[in-house]
Structure 1
Amino acid sequence: MHKITLLCVGSLKSSWAAEGCAQYTERLRSAMDLEIVELAASKEKDPERQLKEESAKILDAIAKRSGRVWVLDETGKSFTSSAYSDALIALRNEGQPLIFVIGGAYGLSDDVRTKADTMLRLSDMTLPHELCRVFFLEQLYRAMQIEKGAGRRQGYGRQGGYHH
């Protein structure tokens, strides 16, 4: 079974986000070995110190694992759902575990970005941390469904402005 780790700074505080993540996590666990690791958010008031502390925790968590590192970042590459599915299938077929990283409130340091094998942008818009987690898990689930031959046409269609 394919190993995928999601490293996240902070925990889910909203019930809607916890429920959404739980639903997608349950669906995904039948198809992959999914580990979600919540790293404690920094309590520092200074944004630079907070970023440095959280980045150190991320780098430590990455160092304890092996696999391809995908960092979710606004400067990353965007994929269509189909292309994302294809990329994940190719990595699974290589036998590579995957490590995905979602930063905290102030994002990610350059030290974390340099560890990335791939930089992934989920949206051109800024997403709050909790929404990013739900959206990421939904897209991971969609990629799995696309591989199975489902999930391609479940968006809003071109007339509604959204397509995969």
Structure 2
Amino acid sequence: MKLIIAAVGTRMPDWIETGYREFAKRLPRDCPMELVEVKAEPRASGKPPAALMAAEAERLRAALPSRCRLVVLDERGDDLTTRQLADRMGRWMQEGDDVAFVIGGPDGLDPAFKSSAHEKLRLSSLTLPHAMVRVLLSEALYRAWSLLNNHPYHRE
């Protein structure tokens, strides 16, 4: 199983790249994590937010494997504990499909794209910068993996 973090937006600050890479490199070869970035639709184009999100959704669809479990990050998604995320990850590993976690752009994700997802997850009740979500999500996924594999990183 491969973990994919698909995010709208490119050219992130160095500290975001460093944070993401730190957790991605900790995962073993049998559970790699990959970052897929797609270009955000220019906000100065004058297009309405719905058109911007639709264009970004098309880029996301094109960038993702045709067969993967699609998990969108959404403020109305499931609010999981680390243990619950680890349990879910264990099920995903048994199923064997790659899992793509999708982070939307400044206006969020296209409603049709969200409705096509297998699952919706919520990281926090706080409003978070989209770039920071990459780091938080990669750490959460590494922590869930470490819990599943009795690695001492996670302490309960």
TM, length-normalised to structure 1: 0.84
Could you tell me which residue of structure 2 aligns to residue 112 of structure 1? 113
Provide Cα deviations, 1:57-108, integer angstroms capped at 9, x if missing partner.
123334x421211001111011000110010111101212211111111110
For residues 31 and 81 of structure 1, the distance between their equivalents in structure 2, rounded to whole angstroms, comes to 21
Q: Distance in 1 between matches of 2:141 and 2:31?
A: 11
Q: Secondary structure of the residue that 2:97 maps to in structure 1? A: coil
Structure 2: runs of 5+ lacking an equivalent? none
Give the whole-Å Cα distance in 2 for the aligned partners of 1:143 and 1:12: 28
Identity of aligned residues (%): 32
Alpha-carbon shift at residue 31 of structure 1 (Å): 4.4
In the alignment, which residue of structure 2 is the partner of 1:44? 43
Is the CA contact (8 Å cut-off) linking 2:5 and 2:134 kept in structure 1?
Answer: no
Could you tell me how far 1:13 is from its partner in structure 2? 2.2
Question: Please, which runs of 5 or more residues in structure 1 have no aligned partner?
Answer: 155-164
Q: Secondary structure at the match of 2:133?
A: helix
Q: Tell me how large the CA RMSD over aligned residues is.
A: 1.7
With 93-102 and 51-60 compared, the bigger mean Cα shift is at 51-60
Matches of residues 87-106 of structure 1 in structure 2 within 5 Å? 87-106=88-107
What TM-score, normalized to structure 2? 0.88
1:54 matched to 2:40? The reply is no
Q: How many Å separate the matches in 2 of 1:107 and 1:120? A: 14
Whole-Å Cα distance in 1 between the matches of residues 11 and 25 of structure 2?
16
Give 2:9's aligned residue.
Answer: 10
Paired with 1:102 and 1:148, the residues of 2 have a C-alpha distance of 26
Count of residue correspondences: 152
